[in-house]
Amino acid sequence: MHFPTHRFPLLLGGLGHEVCLENTSQAHPSVPGMGSFILHGREKRSQAPETCGRCAMAKEQPPDFSHCGKKEFGISDKMLTFASIHMIRSEMTMIDEYKTIDEHVGEGYYTEKRSKFLAFAHHVRDAEEVRQLLDGYRKKYYDARHVCYAYMLGAGRAEFRANDDGEPSSTAGKPILGQINSRELTDVLVVVVRYYGGVNLGTGGLISAYREAAASALDDARVILRQVEEVVSYSFVYPLMNDVMRIVKEMDARIVSQTYDNTCEIRLAIRLSDAEKLRLRLEKLSFE
């Protein structure tokens, strides 16, 4: 199981450090339910370069970052208070749900000094779908001065783009993207079409206009919560069928595919944070 890297302030032995916590996917007895972790840190008072070192378990004494910008060590229950462990657990919670909008196209409108801004918010699945929608808007509104947009893709919100389409840099795409970010949405495309009204709005006016137009479209959209799923495959003998189906029902897993023969195989989609538990329960059946 892989946990993402997190960076946040943490008190180690009374010293304030900016740290980076990474899971090494190895069991660690000091913190039940968690693996061994690599803790990278830089003392806030230090401007040491990003060099790396390696030390043993920290034990009673907190690490000294004054000579090195980065250190690696396992977490010890002697150096972390219960509150710190609780904070780490909450920070390391697996991201398995995200906010997006449904298939309803949100529509918005804004006008400023005779310029008209038509805004549209779409649920999208990938960059190819974004491209097709943009092509459609450019053809439909061929007489508009600008067709600006921004999108965000993926549960991790790692793929995004903002486009000003000829407007001054960062006056259109960036404020549109800002509205997507402020709502913590993903798998979303917002397009704002501008019909020029003959009066220049200036940098501040453009930023405000595109922000308000995007906001009005997103306000008209319907926000939904979706889960990140993992597919678990399991092979078993037919006599175990009832037990397998019982676990599927109890854990609310979704059957993706199934085959029945001398050896049966089933593929189940389940919420990411529950995938390991499902896998362990199924594997346990083979030993009962």
CA distance 258 to 215: 44
Burial of 194 (0-12, 13-18, 19+ CB in 10 A): buried
Provide the CB-side half-sphere exposure for 266 (13 A, CA).
22
Element (H, E) at 242: helix 241-250
Looking at residues 167-175, what average pLDDT do you find?
97
Per the structure, how many domains does the chain have? 3
| Residue 261 pLDDT > 50 | yes
Cβ proximity of 241 and 110 under 8 Å: no
One domain for residues 128 and 84: no
Residue-level pLDDT at 31: 35
Other Cβ atoms less than 10 A from the Cβ of 26: the count is 9
pLDDT band at 131 (very low <50, low <70, confident <90, very high): very high
pLDDT band at 94 (very low <50, low <70, confident <90, very high): low
One domain for residues 207 and 271: no
Q: Which string of DSSP letters, residue by residue, matches 42-96? A: EETT----S-B------TTSPP--TT-SB------TTTS-HHHHHHHHHHT----
User: Which domain range does residue 10 map to?
Assistant: 6-93
Residue-level pLDDT at 227: 87
Residue-level pLDDT at 25: 35
CA distances from 68 to 37, 42, 52 (A): 19, 8, 7
pLDDT tens digits, 1-32: 333 333 333 333 333 333 333 333 333 333 33
CA distance 253 to 263: 21
Residue-level pLDDT at 71: 34
Looking at residues 31-46, what average pLDDT do you find?
35
One domain for residues 237 and 163: no
Least confident of 78-82, 100-104, 264-268, 270-274: 78-82
One domain for residues 23 and 86: yes
Residue-level pLDDT at 245: 94
Give the bridge partners for 42, in sequence order: 18
Residue-level pLDDT at 35: 36
Q: Which two tokens stand for residue 157?
A: 């919100």
Q: Write down the pTM of the prediction.
A: 0.61
* 138 vs 87, residue with greater confidence: 138
One domain for residues 212 and 263: no
Q: Is residue 134 part of a domain?
A: yes
One domain for residues 219 and 238: no
Domain end position, chosen among 93, 128, 163: 93
Burial of 30 (0-12, 13-18, 19+ CB in 10 A): middle
Looking at residues 213-240, what average pLDDT do you find?
94
Determine the residue type at 44.
K
The strand order across the sheet containing 115-123 reads 106-112, 115-123, 188-195, 146-153, 159-163
Residue-level pLDDT at 262: 80
CA distances from 267 to 19, 80, 229, 263, 288 (A): 39, 41, 12, 14, 21
pLDDT tens digits, 182-223: 999 999 999 999 999 999 999 999 999 999 999 999 999 999
